[in-house]
């Protein structure tokens, strides 16, 4: 199979390049383990694989509906290394006591669990900050999923939620990540 020849308009030096996907440098990033002292109930622990330590397992914190995490960090951006799946919640996020904003984590691919980096805030001064994350009590709309979830873990989580009378959504917490440094660095 031969590739078609690019038209001269596409290869012309005058055609603009698309905008950069990430215009800021993420070179000075680091991770920090989530501390149980940063969490307000309800949360439980669950032993699963450690995303950063190949072959190792760690105790993840699963923050339930109305649970809160208060994460201190130094830098100009902060995110979470997390797992997204059918239990992915909508979050309320605020930085340094500012305004709350909603962040929906459930997307059409959440019918299975996958590793994800979720950006909580960016564009901050390169200093110390506190980000607060609250799991919304209202369950997200599973109608957006590409197909219904069907696995043993989902069945277990659904049964636990029904038995406890609590919503099924959870925020999986193990690591926060922060980026330090001048925005102009490349």
Q: From residue 71, how far is each of 5, 149, 178 by CA, in Å?
A: 52, 31, 10
Top-confidence residue, 126 or 20? 126
Q: What is the CA radius of gyration of the chain?
A: 20
Share of the chain above pLDDT 70, in %: 84
d(CA 135, CA 166): 12
DSSP code string of the chain: -PPPPPPHHHH-TTSPPPPPS--S--TTEEEEEPPGGGEESSEEEEEEE-SSSTT-EEEEEEE-TT-EEEEEEEESEEEEEEEESTT--EEEEEETT---EEEE---TTTTS-EEEEEEEE-S--SEEEEEEEEE-SSPP-GGGSSS---SHHHHHHHHHHHHHTS-S--EEESEEEEE-S-TT--
Share of the chain above pLDDT 90, in %: 76
For 116-171, what is each residue's pLDDT tens digit? 999 999 999 999 999 999 999 999 999 999 999 989 999 999 999 999 999 999 99
pLDDT for the residue 181 = 75
pLDDT for the residue 186 = 42
Return the minimum-mean-pLDDT range out of 21-30, 62-71, 102-111: 21-30
pLDDT for the residue 111 = 94
d(CA 167, CA 71): 24
For 59-76, what is each residue's pLDDT tens digit? 999 999 999 999 999 999
């Amino acid at each position: 199979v031969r590739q078609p020849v690019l038209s001269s308009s596409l290869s012309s030096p005058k055609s603009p390049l698309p905008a950069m996907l990430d215009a800021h440098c993420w070179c000075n990033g680091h991770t920090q383990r989530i501390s149980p002292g940063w969490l307000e109930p309800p949360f439980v622990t669950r032993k699963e694989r450690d995303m950063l330590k190949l072959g190792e397992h760690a105790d993840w914190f699963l923050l339930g509906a109305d649970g809160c995490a208060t994460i201190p960090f130094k830098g100009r951006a902060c995110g979470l290394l997390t797992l997204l799946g059918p239990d992915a919640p909508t979050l309320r996020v605020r930085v340094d006591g500012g305004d709350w904003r909603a962040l929906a984590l459930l997307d059409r691919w959440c019918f299975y669990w996958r590793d994800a980096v979720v950006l909580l805030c960016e564009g901050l001064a390169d200093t110390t900050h506190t980000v607060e994350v609250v799991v919304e009590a209202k369950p997200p709309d599973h109608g957006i999923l590409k197909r219904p979830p069907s696995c043993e873990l989902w069945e277990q989580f659904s049964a636990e939620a029904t038995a406890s009378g609590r919503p099924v959504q959870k925020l999986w917490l193990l690591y926060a990540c922060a980026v330090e440094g001048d925005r102009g660095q490349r």
